[in-house]
């Protein structure tokens, strides 16, 4: 009977250790996700800024080039 309790105790300890390990890993992954989401937002902002700059440059192209293409 003592063996049964010891076996049960060992299994419960393994389960609690695994649960703690998974909680720790989950917290780490959530932190990593937050960092990556922030990085992604910054990259999206940089892409939008680059797009805006290119659009502005296209608008500044001389009208003579578009007149030649129409002719």
Tell me, letter by letter, the H, E, C secondary structure of 31-46.
HHHHHHHHHHHHHHHH
| pLDDT, tens digit, 9 for 90 and up, residues 6-40 | 999 999 999 999 999 999 999 999 999 999 999 99
Give domain limits for the chain: 2-70
- Map tokens 């996700």 to a residue: 33
CA dist 51 and 43 (Å) reads 12
CA dist 25 and 36 (Å) reads 16
> What integer pLDDT is reported at residue 63 of this predicted model?
77
> What integer pLDDT is reported at residue 67 of this predicted model?
58
Supply the pTM of this predicted model.
0.64
pLDDT at 71 over 80: no
- Map tokens 């389960």 to a residue: 15
Q: What is the Cα 8 distance to its own chain's centre?
A: 41
């Amino acid at each position: 009977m003592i063996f049964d309790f010891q076996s049960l105790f060992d299994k419960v300890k393994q389960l609690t250790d695994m649960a703690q390990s998974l909680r720790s890993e989950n917290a780490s992954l959530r932190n990593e996700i937050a960092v990556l989401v922030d990085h992604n937002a910054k990259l999206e902002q940089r892409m939008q800024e680059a797009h805006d700059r290119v659009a502005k440059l296209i608008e500044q192209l001389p009208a003579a080039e578009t007149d030649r293409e129409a002719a």
